[in-house]
Structure 1
Amino acid sequence: MHSSLLPRRSFLLAAAAASLVLAGCGSSSPDHPPIVFVHGNGDTAALWQTTAWRFESNGWPRDRLYAIDVPYPLARDDDTVAQPGRTSAAEHMAFLKAEVDKVLRATGASQVVLLANSRGGYAVRNYIQNGGGDRTVSHAVLGGTPNHGVWAIPGFREGSEFSGTGPFLTRLNAPKNAAGDEVTGPVRWMTVRSDSNDKFAQPDGVWIGQPGTPTNVTAAGPELKGAQNVVFPRIDHRETSFSAVAFDATYRFITGEAPIRTDIAAESAVVLNGKITGLGLNSSDPASGSFSNNRPLPGAQLEVYATDPATGARTGTALLKKAVGADGIWGPLTTQPGVPHEFVISALGYATTHIYRSSLPRSSDLIHLRPERIADADKTADSIVTLTRPRGYLDPARDKMLLDGAAPVGVPAGAGVASAKIKPSGGQRPIAAEFNGERVVGQTWPAAQGHVVLLEISQ
């Protein structure tokens, strides 16, 4: 691994300066340490799919890239109080430690690089400070981690991990040396944040249900003293990890070199895989709740079809039909780049969920899928169609978006939501979502017969 690093200081980088794209694929780095990707609160390993592809497109071996999937990814409301279907800070850290140990055994490496988004950065910091990670981690990159809290209001929900005045963050942020550094050495640290557009680094409490209440947190909340702190204009909370500019900064930090490319190089043949997960404490039990989990949904049925990019209609018989087993794994499926797909999930207690995606340029085992449930308010709709962007939010002031030919309604300013839903009528027909140049076309399906449609943006 190259040891030359950028200086540890805060600076503003224009997005254009970080979009270096050159021809070819491969890396001049002679060594590629294993990288472990750590997702955020309520999220899934699947969000790292495009980041992994960018590393691969720069010559990083696929078998040196690992994305963990916390079974119950939501934090407790109060970290000291057990809460079904949620993980404590200690459980989160222990899970990460166990996964890192697996990676070290599998690769024979002595150290890993940790890349984390949002709450995932808490587990990384806790592991390095308190779990032995100071010996097993060379570099840590935290994207959008609310290191000084989503709020820092004395007396307000201080049992939460996200309280800047609570015991968890107070301990993590305690000075580590005479210089007052908040990071634990000898690990090299970088944070990536937005200049103003991260919903969890806002001075007003609107995104925590307290509009008009000062949070005592600013856009600089994710920064850490002693780290290299990188700022990009207008990126949102998830783009701090999953965008091309975040990849560029991360690659430079790890290797000391610019990446050859920040776009994604297509492969001549694509092998897709992943798992089907559910909702609630028990994925298979609709009565157990509707919160996210990353546990398998045994018995779920999956069908995958190639689709016409112009109409979303199926172009032939199913490429794959499978009922998943106890592990939830649905593949593998060999397909071609440039072909869009429809993934259809059927499971007891869920709506038949049609997920349309534009073409997938590279192989991946992070095509994780989750069926939806229909809300009571939507059951009388002709059809239910959602534009969803898992790797970023929707910002009407920044993004060019269309859903069924019109700007999505009800999307608030400030990059605060990752989806927009409509209930179109007119029977089964093509329907398109467009987001900053990416276009996904699907078909409407009847809600009365228990169908929902997701048009998923990859970027």
Structure 2
Amino acid sequence: MKKFIRPRTFRGILLAFCGLFILPLALGACGDNVPVISEVPDNRPKLNPADYPPILFVHGSGDQASNWIRTRWFFESNAYPAERLFTISFRYPTAPFDGNNPGKAYTDNDGQRSQLAAKVDEVLAKTGAKKLALIANSRGGLTIRNYLERGGGASKVSHIILGGTPNHGVMDVPLIIPGNEFNASGDFQKDLNGRDEVVPGVDTMTIRSDTYDKYAQPRSLASPIAIGYRGPELKGALNLVLAGLDHRETAYHPRAFAQMYRFITGVAPRTTEVTPEANPRIGGLMTGYEDGVQTNIGVSGVKVSIFEVDSTTGQRKGIAVHEAVTGTDGSWGNFVGRPDAYYEFVAQPPNLPEYHFFRTPFPRSTELANFRLQPEKVEPGKVLVVFTRPRGFISNSRDKHLLDGKPVPGVDDGVPTTSAFKVDFSGPERSVPASLNGESMTIRTVNGAIVFAEFTN
């Protein structure tokens, strides 16, 4: 059994150089003895709802717009107009190891900046607004800063909120890999941080973890090139610390949402729960991989069948509630569901195994029910089960997780570092209960298939 780890992730880059260099850290934002702020102050300007800016959500490296599904629901549940909430999916979302030679299936930060600039213009044209707010997780925040400082975006942006963004890199390695955008001594980071870290006229907030961000850890003999807990902070910004949250949760957790909402509107949200709709309309895309690297490019020709299932057995309750074959954009269309229903999404792509995605309920409408088809080999008579949490990581030290009545194999103690785990099953097809921090479902094993237990929280 292996952890489900993306190729060339930040962690992989960091570990590749650990033990090779012990270097001085010269990052002003990473010093000590600075007061910790955990919530937005009460003195923020209070906006009239008619003046709420459009919001564009920007994902991190290797991720996709669907990571923001719950955050958008949070905003909608607090009367933020749904027609003013937008997301972007970068075509090739993964950061290259060397931005000077990115490779076919990667996009350097300047390439992402161009895509972001086009999306900002699209949102402003659609809404008629003069400025919008940008909210990001991880690498998405670097793209936002690049857009503001070098892409002419400052005049079009009112607020930026950066959750878990490696604003001072994830490593400090002088002399080598100058083209890596996460290297504090690389060209990108030095240019980005070589001037004022906050752009005048743009309200800026960062959100970081206290000690649980895998990419913002203290320097030690085991990690001699690490950046420190305060790496995501920016001089001149409102820098919040939300204790116990991991790298992704700094953007996707309800506690992070509460501070985002307050920073933009000037008032606390009425709720940090999702308010259900009576008849949510659910739609999304099938995307895939290229050269072993995840993309946000639609996969065509995928037969999609969607079934309502029993939450305690995973058994289908009847015929498919929706069937489609994806077109060139990867869209599988949409259907009207029930806010408390559990669904199984079956994807049959050409020349790949069958995929079964089991999901907890969709309480509100969304076009972000996206599924990524990762090429995997499944041995005859076996089932590959993927236990996954796209909006956060999993650790034995804080998370309660069970698969088939036992802790999920491969989950480590300490700082949460991994969001998905692969477990092989064999034997007759059967029901398998799965739970994570109070969110639960039951999946069904299907011989020769890849079965996902995907959690929303």
Question: What TM-score comes out, normalization by structure 1 length?
Answer: 0.88
Does residue 279 of structure 2 align to residue 269 of structure 1? Answer: yes
- Contact kept? 2:74, 2:272, Cα under 8 Å: yes
Shifted more, 418-427 versus 270-279: the winner is 418-427
Q: Mind listing any 5+ residue stretches in structure 2 that lack a counterpart?
A: 1-33, 42-46
Alignment partners' CA distance in 2, 1:373 and 1:418:
18
1:305 aligns with 2:307: yes
Which of the numbers 224, 230, 238 marks the counterpart of 2:234? 224
How far is the alpha carbon of 1:342 from its aligned partner? 0.2
Alignment partner of 2:372 out of 370, 388, 412: 370
Q: Which whole-Å CA distance do the structure 2 matches of 1:314 and 1:335 have between them?
A: 15
Q: How far 1:432 moved relative to its partner?
A: 1.6
TM-fit CA distance, 1:91: 0.7
How much has 1:28 moved relative to structure 2?
Answer: 6.8
Q: Give 2:125's aligned residue.
A: 105
Q: How does 1:118-197 map to 2 (within 5 A)?
A: 118-176=138-196, 182-197=197-212
Q: Is the 8 A contact 2:340 2:363 kept in 1?
A: yes
1:253 and 2:243 are equivalent in the alignment: no
Amino acid at match of 2:327: G
Indicate the SS of the match to 1:332. strand
C-alpha displacement at 1:89, in angstroms? 1.4
Specify the alignment match of 1:458 in structure 2: 456
Task: Tell whether the 8 Å contact from 2:281 to 2:335 is kept in structure 1 after alignment.
Answer: yes
Q: Deviations over 1:384-429 (max 9, x none)?
A: 1111000000011000110111011211232110012222233111
Cα 1:381–1:192 shift into 2, 3 Å: farther
Instruction: String of CA shifts for 1:312-343, please: whole Å, max 9, x gaps.
Output: 11000001111111111112111111000000
1:83 is matched with: 103
Say if 1:372 and 1:427 are closer, same or farther in 2 by CA, change over 3 A: farther
Conserved? CA contact 1:149–1:221, under 8 Å: yes
Q: Is the 8 A contact 1:382 1:427 kept in 2?
A: no
Q: Is contact 1:273–1:366 with CA below 8 Å preserved after alignment?
A: yes
> Are 2:454 and 1:429 aligned?
no
Match of 1:199 in 2: 214
Whole-Å separation in 1 of the counterparts to 2:437 and 2:99: 39
Q: Which residue of 2 aligns with 1:5?
A: none
| SS across alignment from 1:421 | strand
Distance (whole Å) between structure 2 residues aligned to residue 296 and residue 244 of structure 1: 30
Q: Mark the CA change 1:172 to 1:423 in structure 2 (over 3 Å): closer, same or farther.
A: same
Whether the aligned pair in 1 keeps the contact of 2:166 and 2:182 (CA below 8 Å) is yes
Distance 1:372 1:80, change over 3 A: closer
Once the two structures are superposed, residues 201-231 of structure 1 have per-residue CA deviations (whole angstroms, 9 ceiling, x without a partner) of: 12359xxxxx824124101100000000000
For the pair 1:411 / 2:407, whether they are aligned, the reply is no
Which of 68, 73, 78 does residue 58 from structure 1 map onto? 78
- Report the CA distance between 1:77 and its aligned residue: 1.4
Q: Which amino acid is 1:297 matched to? A: V
Counterpart CA distance in 1 for 2:223 and 2:249 is 26
Aligned residues with identical type, % of pairs: 39
Question: 2: distance between equivalents of 1:275 and 1:216?
Answer: 37
CA contact (8 A) 2:303 2:347 kept: yes
Corresponding residue SS for 1:214? coil
Aligned partner of 2:352 among 350, 357, 362: 350
Distance (Å, rounded) in 2 between the aligned partners of 1:384 and 1:119: 30
Name the amino acid aligned to 1:200. Answer: Y
Contact 2:384 2:450 in 1 (8 A): yes
Alignment-derived partner of residue 20 in structure 2: none
CA gap 1:92/1:190 in 2 versus in 1, 3 angstroms: same
Residue identity opposite 1:89 in structure 2 = N
TM-score for both structures, normalised by structure 2 = 0.88
| Partner SS for 1:219 | coil
Over 3 Å counting, the alpha-carbon distance change for 1:389 and 1:339 in structure 2 is: same
In angstroms, what is the RMSD of aligned CA positions? 1.8
Taking the aligned partners of 1:381 and 1:12, their CA distance within structure 2 comes to 54
Distance 2:422 2:108 in 1: 32
* C-alpha distance in 2 between matches for 1:351 and 1:183: 48
Counterpart amino acid of residue 389 in structure 2: R
Task: Tell me which residue corresponds to 1:383.
Answer: 383
Query: Given residue 452 of structure 2, which amino acid in structure 1 is its aligned partner?
Result: L
How big is the shift at 1:12?
4.1
Report the 3-state secondary structure (helix = DSSP H, G, I; strand = E; otherwise coil) of the residue aligned with 1:116: strand
**Aligned partner of residue 275 in structure 1, secondary structure:** strand
- Asked whether the equivalents of residues 63 and 93 of structure 2 are also in contact (C-alpha less than 8 Å), the reply is yes
Structure 2 distance, partners of 1:201, 1:417, is 15
Helix, strand or coil at the partner of 1:63: helix
The count of aligned residue pairs is: 418
Whether contact under 8 Å (2:380, 2:447) holds in the other structure is: no
Pick the aligned partner of 2:49 from 3, 25, 29: 29
**Contact in 2 for aligned 1:38/1:121 (Cα 8 Å):** yes
SS at match of 1:386: strand
Cα gap change, 1:366 to 1:106, in 2 (>3 Å): same
Contact 2:216 2:226 in 1 (8 A): no
SS of equivalent residue, structure 1 residue 215: coil
Counterpart AA for 1:111: K
1:34-62 deviations in Å (ceiling 9; x for gaps): 10000000000000000000000000111
The residue type paired with residue 318 of structure 2 is: G
One-letter amino acid of the counterpart of residue 389, structure 1: R
